[in-house]
Chain A
Amino acid sequence: DAGVIQSPRHEVTEMGQEVTLRCKPISGHNSLFWYRQTMMRGLELLIYFNNNVPIDDSGMPEDRFSAKMPNASFSTLKIQPSEPRDSAVYFCASTDGASGSLSYNEQFFGPGTRLTVL
């Protein structure tokens, strides 16, 4: 298995632009997580999906952030409009999980997308 795949690996954009980050979870995993890593706040859970349904998005910082999971093999995290303070590494992770709750099985992380907003 190729593991969790994220694209792009690096993104540099200007303030105000729309940014879309992509994730392909491990085949057969039914839970997907989006994280943000910053120096100030460490690793933060933004949102997670179970069977393609968003379960908890309380970690999403603002309305500028949105995430979708149209099918079991693809998810996006979108920032519109982007701001310099959104600069961070964004990780996607997947695991097997029970329906409707946050699985406590081990998560497999993708390589991350390093976002720089100028």
Chain B
Amino acid sequence: ILNVEQSPQSLHVQEGDSTNFTCSFPSSNFYALHWYRWETAKSPEALFVMTLNGDEKKKGRISATLNTKEGYSYLYIKGSQPEDSATYLCAFNGANNLFFGTGTRLTVIP
């Protein structure tokens, strides 16, 4: 089992604030890094798949960066809205394995 760590575990921000959180993973045998958004009582929904060192991806107000050499990825949310409240999961994708972090639970307070 590989160690995929996410921090912080939980986060409360005010509506309109920007925020970011971290996913740390092993830097060896790397194929891809996935970010998922998981709302309570729903299924994980893919946000990004990142494969190259230095990758930056953006979807609306959400963006992510990737550093495979040092083994971390950042997820940023600009101008948080209450509908952004969810758990954000990252997953390390090796050649033949996939390990998820425990997620960062984001609550956006109106």
Least CB separation from A42: chain B residue? B102
Least CB separation from A33: chain B residue? B98
Interface size on B, residues (CB 8 A): 22
Is B49's CB under 8 angstroms from A44's CB? no
Least CB separation from A43: chain B residue? B100
User: Within the complex, which residue of A42, A102, A106 is in contact with B98, where a contact is CB–CB below 8 Å?
Assistant: A102
Is B98's CB under 8 angstroms from A45's CB? yes
- Contact A104-B103, Cβ < 8 Å, known A45-B97, A55-B96, A56-B97: no
Is A102's CB under 8 angstroms from B44's CB? no
- Contact A107-B46, Cβ < 8 Å, known A55-B96, A101-B96, A102-B96: yes
Is B49's CB under 8 angstroms from A104's CB? yes
- Report the minimal beta-carbon distance from A91 to chain B, rounded to whole angstroms: 7
* A109 beta carbon closer than 8 Å to chain B: yes
Interface size on A, residues (CB 8 A): 22
* B28 beta carbon closer than 8 Å to chain A: no
Q: How many A-B residue pairs have CB under 8 A?
A: 51
- Report the minimal beta-carbon distance from B23 to chain A, rounded to whole angstroms: 13
Residues of A within 8 A of B95 (CB): 101-102
How does the 8 Å CB contact mask read for A39-70 relative to B, with 1 for contact and 0 for none? 00011110010000001101000000000000
- Kindly state the separation between the CA atoms of A111 and B100 in the bound complex, as whole angstroms: 18
Known: A42-B102, A107-B44. 19 other contacts (CB 8 A): A42-B100, A42-B103, A44-B100, A45-B97, A45-B98, A48-B98, A56-B96, A93-B44, A102-B93, A102-B95, A102-B97, A102-B98, A104-B31, A104-B34, A104-B51, A107-B34, A108-B46, A111-B42, A111-B43
Which positions in A face B, CB cutoff 8 Å?
Answer: 33, 42-45, 48, 55-56, 58, 91, 93, 101-102, 104-112
